[in-house]
Amino acid sequence: MKEINKNNKAFWIFIIAFLILVLIPFCLSDKFPITIFRFKSKPISYLTYNDLINLSSKTALKGRLLSRFQKQLETPYIENRWQTNHFSKPYIRVAHWNIERGSNINAIKSVFSNRFGYYYSYKKNIQNDQEEQLKKELNDFTKSDIISLNEVDIGMLRTRYKNIASEIAGILGYNYAFATEFVELGPILYKQRIAPSRYLGLHGNAILSKYPIKSARIIRLPECYKWFESEVGKQNPIEYARRVGAEAIFKQQILTEPRRGSRCALVADIELPDKEVITVVSTHLEDRCYPSCRFKQTQHLFESLKYIRRPLLLAGDFNTSTTDSAPTSLKKEIVKRVRDPNFIARQLAFAAIPGVPVASSLLAVGLSKAFQYKDPAVLSIPVLFPNQERKLFAYIKDFRFADGEGFDIRGDSERSSNGKKGLLANSNERQLKGFESTFKFTEPRVIAYFKLDWFFVKPKRKRFEPFNGQTLQLINHSYPGRISDHEPIIVDLLL
């Protein structure tokens, strides 16, 4: 009798295990794909805490430390945990978001895990006539199949040592890849209280995917700003004054960030359910440089991607601000003006016009800048209204891959999200004048709106053509103090 009971017990254990491992995931496969554990690259960091201490020193890197540091910058981390065996809609939705380190990770997770709860918790922070739009944004955003992220922390004190990419991927049941952009050394240099066993100091780009990530690589971009050498040095009086002014006028803290590394692009090959592979690129160009160096970074990136023959989507914060935010010195401020022929010619032109006060000339330039912030692709008029970002968009427009394909720059009323026409309107939401902004200072409202974040899509034989590009502002701003300083954006790719 005891033997029979043992057999019955074993039988029911088998049945329960079968239901858990096979039938339940199968029935819920639309929401919870089958776990496959294809591969998980290890480790996520090749650097020890002692390495980080040595990296924070001003001495030149060499030997094994240099080797491990280079490996950290050159090796992507990939974790495939899930697989989806079918498309849930006739298009792929891709999102991009610069999440400002993941400082508000719980809010981000709430958006994906409980959009209705998020809606009812924070709709009170927006106008009544915006509530339906917030509901739509949450619905659209949470249906993203692939997500590109900038400014992702892993093992940082400021984000409570969390792996931000893994936390978001875990909520979604997605795979992810991560590329180290910088190793952050500020907490060590400034002797903050940190947990050596938990501190990794990693900051970079990530790609999250419902579909398996077959492979990934990192493209290092040309260095436009020496982050460690420049940030470790003592700030001079002009920079200090600018910091005080920024805090008082814009309520926007300008931080000092001593770190080693450089801007980069994470390139991931993602296998779709029909076995076709799409390449997704997540990048973040330098903000502490002039547009001319960001242009060099773009050229280098495009040349590195030139021989990819499959469909490709490039997403990222291109920092198309028309200016830089590098620490300022008196010498730099003078040189910036002396070397700028537009600045010199503009002073001569306005000085030669009788009856035109200086204030009027400054207002004209200010209005020009305000427009360029929201449309950095606008026509450049030398001397009066120069636009240094225009060259970048002309290059993107003319660029051709080795297979003869280019980026889809179209914008027509049928495929744009709001019926607007114009350059890139199908993939990036436009307004009546320029693009919908993706970054803004808190104050003042007129001059501090910027279009920094972009999608650029290379289709293939009418497939993967972009449409319905949107900027999702209410998701971000309904949260008290906003989730990030950037807005999320989405685009759909036709299958």
CA dist 439 and 251 (Å) reads 14
Residue 70, classed as helix, strand or coil, is helix
- Predicted pLDDT of residue 28: 37
Tell me the percentage of the chain whose pLDDT exceeds 70.
74
Closest among 458, 438, 75, 79 to 281, alpha carbons compared: 458
- Predicted pLDDT of residue 387: 76
CA dist 478 and 364 (Å) reads 34
Pairing of strands 312-317, 277-284: parallel
Residue 17, classed as helix, strand or coil, is helix
Q: Measured between alpha carbons, how far is residue 165 from residues 78, 183, 261 in Å?
A: 11, 16, 19
- Predicted pLDDT of residue 322: 78
- Predicted pLDDT of residue 344: 47
Q: Which residue in this structure is represented by tokens 């039938």?
A: 23
* Rama region for 263: left / alpha / beta (φ>0; ψ in -120 to 50; rest): beta
CA dist 438 and 457 (Å) reads 18
Q: Which residues in the chain show pLDDT less than 70? A: 1-41, 234-255, 324-325, 327-374, 379-386, 441-448
CB 66 within 8 A of CB 116: no
Q: Which residues pair with 457 in a beta bridge?
A: 313
Q: Hey, what domains does the chain have and what are their CATH numbers?
A: 33-225+262-323+390-494 (3.60.10.10)
- Predicted pLDDT of residue 364: 44
pTM, whole model, 2 decimals? 0.84
- Predicted pLDDT of residue 42: 72
- Predicted pLDDT of residue 31: 37
